Amino acid sequence: MRELLLCPPNYYGIEYEINPWMSRARGAEVAVAQKQWEQLHATLSNLHCEVHLIPPQPGLPDMVFTANAGLTVGHQFIPSNFRHKERAGEQPFFAKWMEQRGYEVSWLPENLYFEGEGDALFGGDALFCGYKFRSDIQSHRALADILGCLVIS
The predicted-structure confidence for 106-153, as pLDDT tens digits, reads as follows: 999 999 999 999 899 999 999 999 998 889 999 999 999 999 999 999
Contacts of 152 (CB under 8 A, 6+ apart): 126, 127, 128, 129
Per-residue confidence band for 2, with pLDDT thresholds at 50, 70 and 90: confident
Is it the case that residue 17 has pLDDT exceeding 90?
no
Residue 29: what pLDDT?
79
Q: What is the total count of domains within the chain? A: 2
The reply to whether 38 and 93 lie within a common domain is: no
The reply to whether 97 and 149 lie within a common domain is: yes
Domain boundary at 30, 57, 84, which?
A: 57
The reply to whether 91 and 141 lie within a common domain is: yes
The reply to whether 90 and 52 lie within a common domain is: no
The reply to whether 48 and 73 lie within a common domain is: no
Is it the case that residue 26 has pLDDT exceeding 80?
no
The reply to whether 105 and 152 lie within a common domain is: yes
Q: Classify the phi-psi angles of 100: left when phi > 0, otherwise alpha if psi is within -120 to 50, otherwise beta.
A: alpha
Contact 79, 68 (CB under 8 A): no
Where helices occur in the chain by DSSP H, the ranges are 30-46, 85-88, 90-100, 138-147
Domain boundary at 12, 37, 57, which?
A: 57
Domain boundary at 35, 57, 79, which?
A: 57
Where in the sequence is the domain holding 28, given as residue range(s)?
1-57
What does pLDDT average to over the chain? 92
